Structure 1
Amino acid sequence: MSEFKQTFNSSLGKKLIMALTGLFLCTFLIVHLSGNLALFKHDNGQAFNAYANFMTHFPPIRVVSYLLYLSILVHTIYAIILTVNNRKARPIGYASAPKSPVSWSSKNMGLLGSILFLFIVIHMKDFWFKYHQDDFAGKSTHVIPFKEYKTDLVTGKQISARDLPPGDYQYAVFTEGGIETMVAKDLNQTVEVAFKQWWYVAFYVIALGALSFHLLHGFQSAFHTLGWIHRKYKPLIYFIGTWFFAVIIPLGFAAMPVYYFFFG
C-alpha cells in the first residue's frame, strides 16, 4: 500500500493521473458534443431539452457526471502541483534555448488550462447550476421555465411548442389519441439568451481555441505518459489528437454560439 501511495505521489505518478483523467475528459467531450448537436435541430429545442433531462436524471449518467467533476478537479490540482514543482526544480531558465523543438501549446499548457478552468466555472454556473437551482432551493416558480411540446406520432411532426406559465411542473412524456406530449425545462431558451451576447460568444470561442491547443499537446502527451504508443500506431494517435480532438471537437462546440448569435 505504501509503495502504491509512493508511486502516485511521485512526479511520474502525478503525470499518470493527469493522463488518465485527461483521456476520460476527452471521452466526455465526444458525448457532450454529440448531445449538444441537438441544438441545431429546428424543433424549438425539444430534442435538446429531452437530452438535458436525460443527462441530469438518468442514474448511471449522474454517477458518471460526479466522476467527471472529480476528474476536472483532480486534473486541475495535479496540473498546478506539477507546474509548481517544475519551477522549483528549475528556478532559473536555460542559458540557451533547448535544441529539441517544443510546441507553443506544450510551453503554455498552464495558461491554456487556466483559461479552460475559468471557462468551465462560468459554463457550469450559467447552465448546470441554473438547471439545478430549483432542486437546491425547492422553488415552485422555476428559474428555467418549462415548455410543452405536442407531436403527431403518425407523421412525426411537431404540432405545437408553447411556454408554460409559472407553476410547479415536472418532466413528463405521455401519449393520448396519437398525440405525444412532452413537458420539460426549456434549457434551450437559456442557451439562446446566452449566445445572443457578443462578449459571451467571443469568450466562448476564445476558450474553445484554448481547448484546441490544450488537446493538441495533451492528447498525444497522455499516450506517451501511459506508454501506450508504438511507432506503428504513433501516426494514427497523432492524427486523431490533431484533427479530431484539436480541430473537429472545438469547431463543433464553437459552431453553436456562432450559429445562435447570427442565425438563432
Structure 2
Amino acid sequence: MLSSLSRKMLMCLTGLFLSFFLLIHFLGNLQLFLPKERAHLQFNAYSHFLSGNIIIEIVSYILYASIILHAVDGLIITLKNKKSGANYQTDRRGRASKWYSRNMGLLGTFILIFLVIHFQNFWYVYKFGTIPLDENGNKDLYILVVTVFKEWWYVVIYVISMFALCYHLIHGIYSATRTLGLYHPKFIKWFKIAGIAYSVIISAGFAMMPVYVFFTYR
C-alpha cells in the first residue's frame, strides 16, 4: 500500500509528465492553423511520423500508464479525503482555497470522460478504423479531424473540457511545486505565474482549434 506522501508524489510526477505531453501535443496540433492545403499534407505526414516511430510508441505506453495511474490515484485521494471529512475550505496556511482546488476530483472526472470520447474519435479510428489515404500515401487524419470538428456538439464539449483542463492545470502545477518542496517565498510567486500562464495558453490554444476548424469549413 502506498503512503499518503507516496500517492501525492505519484500524482505529482504523472501530472507533470502529462503536462509535458500536452505541450508537445499542442505544438504538433498548431499545424491545423496553417493554410488548408499545407495543413492537410503536413499534419498527415506529422501523424505518420509519430505512428511509425519506435521511441514515440514507447512514450505512448508511458502516456497511457500515466493517465490511468493519475486517474486512479486521484480517485483514491478524493475518496480518502471525503472519508476523513476534509473539506479543504482553507489550506494549512489559513488562506481561503479556490473552488477548483476543492473540486479537483470533479474536474478530473470531466476531463477523463472527455479523453475517452477524444480517444474514441481519433486514436481508436486512426489505429483500428478504415481511413482513406492522402496523395502522399499517409492516413488522412486531417480529414478525420475536420469531419469531427465540424460537429457543433463536439466543439462545445471540447471547449468546455478545455475550461476544466485549465483550472485543473492551474491547481495541479501549483500543488506539484509544493509536493516537490519548491514552496519558497522567493520563488513561489513566479512558479504560480508561470503555471497560470502555461495553463491558460495551452487550454485556450486547444480550445481555439475546433472553433477555428468549425468556422473555417462551414
Report the TM-score, using the length of structure 1 for normalisation. 0.77
| Partners of 1:48 and 1:14 in 2: CA distance | 38
Mapped pair 1:192 → 2:146: yes
Counterpart of 1:50 in structure 2 is 45
Counterpart of 1:252 in structure 2 is 205
Counterpart of 1:174 in structure 2 is none
Structure number with greater CO (CA < 8 Å, separation at least 6) is 2
- Where structure 2 has 5 or more consecutive residues not aligned to the other structure, the ranges are none
Letter in 2 for 1:146: L
Q: Deviations over 1:101-123 (max 9, x none)?
A: 10111011011001100011110
| Partners of 2:34 and 2:170 in 1: CA distance | 30
Mapped pair 1:224 → 2:210: no
Identity of aligned residues (%): 45
Letter in 2 for 1:144: I
Counterpart of 1:121 in structure 2 is 116
Give the 4+ runs in structure 1 shifted more than 4 A: none
SS of alignment partner, residue 185 of structure 2: coil
What is the CA RMSD across the aligned residues, in angstroms? 1.6
Counterpart of 1:81 in structure 2 is 76
Letter in 1 for 2:72: I
| Partners of 1:113 and 1:39 in 2: CA distance | 27
| Partners of 1:44 and 1:220 in 2: CA distance | 35
Q: Which one of 67, 71, 75 corresponds to residue 66 of structure 2?
A: 71
In terms of fraction of residues, the more strand-rich structure is 1
1:89 deviation in Å? 1.3
1:100 deviation in Å? 2.5
- Where structure 1 has 5 or more consecutive residues not aligned to the other structure, the ranges are 1-5, 135-142, 149-181
| Partners of 1:228 and 1:100 in 2: CA distance | 19
In terms of fraction of residues, the more helix-rich structure is 2
| 8 Å Cα contact 2:149/2:210 also seen in 1 | yes
1:228 deviation in Å? 2.8
Aligned residues: 212
